[in-house]
C-alpha cells in the first residue's frame, strides 16, 4: 500500500483528525464500489472496465432522513452535480451524495432514490432530488459500456461506514488521473478551535484534472521536473469536492466554504481550465434537531461571519492535501487499449522536495 503525504514526511499545514479524512466529522459515512476487469483493446459494452461509485452519507445511514444545511459553488461548470438547484433554493442537502463517471451519473442519481424509497427514508416531501456528481474516466475505462449499475450504487450506500477512507484508485475515482498521474479519491481533515468550541472540517475529492507542467506540491514545481509517462498530454478532466463540518453554519456560510475549495486546488497548480468541471458542495451536520423538525419555528445555532476565517483556512489546507493524497495513494494503472496512467513516483517527489528545501 502506498503511503500518504504525511506518512512520507510532507509538511502539510494544520492539524488533521484521527483518520485525516472526511469521516472525522462525526456521523459522516463513506462507501465505495470499485469495478476493475478486462484488458486490451476497447470493446464498448465489454471493457476494459476501470470505474466505480462512491457514496457519502452526511449523517450516516441511521439518520439519512435528517437534512443538513448546505451550500454549492461551481468554479467552472463543464461537469455535473445534480440536485444543486434545490440546494441553492432551500439551503439544505436532503439526500446522500454519489460520485461516479460522467456517463453513469444518472444511474447513481436514480438508484439513490430507489435506496431512499426501499428503506423508507423520507426527505421532508413526497419526492427527492439526490446529489450525484461525475468526472470523466474514459481514458482508462469503457465509459460507453455503462458498467456502473443501480445495484453497485445500492451496495456503496449500504456499505458506507465511518472510520478510515480508502483513497486512490477506488470507487468513483478508479479510472481518474490528476496532473497526468494516476489519481482518484482523496480526503483530509482539520481540527480547529473557534469561538470557544472545537470543530472538525473534512474534505473529500474525486480528483481528475490538471496539466502535468502545472503540478505543484507545497510550492515546489514538481510537474516541471517529472515529465515522463504522460497519457493525456493536455488539460482534461474535472474535480468534485465535498466539504463537511460539524461547525454550526447557515447555508450562505457553507457556500462561502465551498468557494474556498478553488484556493486549495490552486495551491496544487491548476488554473481551472475550460475543459474542467470544478464543482463543490459544503454541508454542516450541526443543528440536527432543528433539521429533523420539518415545520414550525426552528431554533438554530450559527457562528458569526467574523469567526469563519479558520474554517476557510481548514478548507484550503484539507483540499490541497486531499488532492496530493489522491495521487500518492494510487498505483500505476493500465486501462483500455493499453493506456497507462503512471503513479506519482514518491521517491522522486521526495528528492525534489529536499532539493527545494521543503523537507
Tens-place pLDDT, residues 60-109: 999 999 999 999 999 999 999 999 999 999 999 999 999 999 999 999 99
User: Residue 240: what pLDDT?
Assistant: 98
**From the candidate CATH numbers 3.60.70.12, 3.40.47.10, 1.10.3720.10, 3.40.190.10, the one assigned to the domain spanning 5-355:** 3.60.70.12
Count the Cβ atoms, other than its own, within 10 Å of residue 282. 31
pLDDT confidence bin for 124, thresholds 50/70/90: low
As a whole number of angstroms, the distance between CA 63 and CA 123 comes to 11
Annotated catalytic residue, options 169, 189, 238, 326: 238
The reported pTM is 0.97
Cβ atoms within 10 A of the Cβ of 9, count?
Answer: 12
Question: Which of the residues 24, 142, 214, 278 is marked catalytic?
Answer: 278
Could you give the CA distance from residue 53 to residue 33 in angstroms, rounded to a whole number? 5
Give the separation between CA 288 and CA 67, rounded to whole angstroms.
8
CA–CA distances in Å: residue 197 to residues 7, 192, 254: 29, 8, 18
Could you read off the pLDDT of 168-214 as tens digits, one per residue?
A: 999 999 999 999 999 999 999 999 999 999 999 999 999 999 999 99
pLDDT at 121: 80
Q: Tens digits of per-residue pLDDT, 138-153?
A: 999 999 999 999 999 9
Verify whether residue 276 is a known catalytic residue: yes
Average pLDDT on 305-334 reads 98
Find all residues with CB under 8 Å of 58, minimum gap 6, and list them.
27, 28, 68, 93, 96, 97, 244, 283, 285
Q: Which of 153, 156, 255, 264 is nearest to 204 (CA)?
A: 264
* Catalytic choice (104, 188, 276, 284): 276
Task: Please check the confidence at residue 10 and state whether its pLDDT lies above 70.
Answer: yes
Q: Are 318 and 201 in contact (CB under 8 A)?
A: yes
42 within 8 A of 48, measured Cβ to Cβ: yes
DSSP E strand stretches across the chain = 29-37, 49-57, 68-77, 92-93, 97-101, 131-135, 177-178, 181-182, 185-194, 197-208, 237-245, 276-284, 333-334, 340-341
Q: What is the mean pLDDT of the chain?
A: 96
Q: How far is the C-alpha of 144 from the C-alpha of 146, rounded, in Å? A: 5
Rounded distance between C-alpha atoms, residue 57 and residue 320, angstroms: 23
Other Cβ atoms within 10 Å of 97 Cβ, number: 27
Residue identified by cell 432551500 is 90
Domain boundaries, the chain: 5-355
pLDDT score, position 126: 75
Percent of the chain with pLDDT over 70: 99
pLDDT above 70: residue 330: yes
Amino acid at each position: 500500500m502506498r503511503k500518504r503525504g504525511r506518512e512520507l514526511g510532507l509538511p502539510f499545514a494544520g492539524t488533521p483528525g484521527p483518520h485525516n479524512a472526511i469521516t472525522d466529522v462525526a456521523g459522516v459515512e463513506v462507501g465505495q464500489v470499485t469495478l476493475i476487469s478486462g484488458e486490451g483493446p476497447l470493446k464498448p459494452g465489454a471493457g476494459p472496465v476501470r470505474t466505480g461509485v462512491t457514496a457519502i452519507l452526511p449523517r450516516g445511514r441511521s439518520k439519512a432522513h435528517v437534512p443538513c444545511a448546505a451550500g454549492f459553488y461551481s468554479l467552472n461548470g463543464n461537469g455535473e452535480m445534480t440536485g444543486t438547484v434545490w440546494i441553492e433554493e432551500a439551503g439544505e442537502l436532503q439526500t446522500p451524495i454519489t460520485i461516479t463517471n460522467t456517463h453513469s451519473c444518472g444511474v447513481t442519481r436514480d438508484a439513490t432514490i430507489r435506496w431512499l424509497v426501499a428503506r423508507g427514508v423520507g426527505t421532508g416531501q413526497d419526492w427527492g432530488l439526490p446529489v450525484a456528481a461525475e468526472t470523466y474516466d474514459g481514458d482508462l475505462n469503457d465509459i460507453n459500456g455503462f458498467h456502473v449499475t443501480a445495484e453497485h450504487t445500492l451496495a456503496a450506500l449500504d456499505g458506507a461506514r465511518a472510520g478510515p477512507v480508502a483513497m486512490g484508485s477506488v470507487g468513483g475515482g478508479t479510472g481518474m488521473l490528476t496532473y497526468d498521474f494516476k489519481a482518484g479519491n482523496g480526503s483530509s481533515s482539520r481540527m480547529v478551535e473557534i469561538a470557544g468550541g472545537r470543530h472538525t472540517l473534512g474534505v473529500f475529492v474525486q480528483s481528475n484534472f490538471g496539466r502535468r507542467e502545472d503540478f505543484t506540491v507545497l510550492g515546489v514545481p514538481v510537474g516541471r521536473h517529472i515529465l515522463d509517462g504522460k497519457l493525456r498530454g493536455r488539460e482534461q478532466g474535472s474535480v468534485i469536492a465535498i466539504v463537511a463540518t460539524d461547525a454550526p453554519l447557515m447555508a450562505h456560510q457553507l457556500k462561502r466554504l465551498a468557494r474556498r475549495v478553488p484556493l486549495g486546488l490552486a495551491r496544487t497548480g491548476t488554473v481551472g481550465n475550460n475543459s474542467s468541471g470544478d464543482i463543490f458542495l459544503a454541508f454542516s451536520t450541526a443543528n440536527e434537531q432543528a433539521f429533523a423538525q420539518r415545520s414550525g419555528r426552528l431554533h438554530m445555532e450559527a457562528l458569526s461571519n467574523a469567526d469563519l476565517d479558520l474554517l476557510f483556512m481548514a478548507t484550503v489546507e484539507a483540499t490541497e492535501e486531499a488532492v496530493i493524497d489522491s495521487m500518492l495513494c494510487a498505483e500505476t494503472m493500465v486501462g483500455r487499449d493499453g493506456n497507462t496512467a503512471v503513479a506519482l513516483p514518491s521517491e522522486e517527489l521526495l528528492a525534489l522536495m529536499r532539493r527545494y528545501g521543503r523537507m
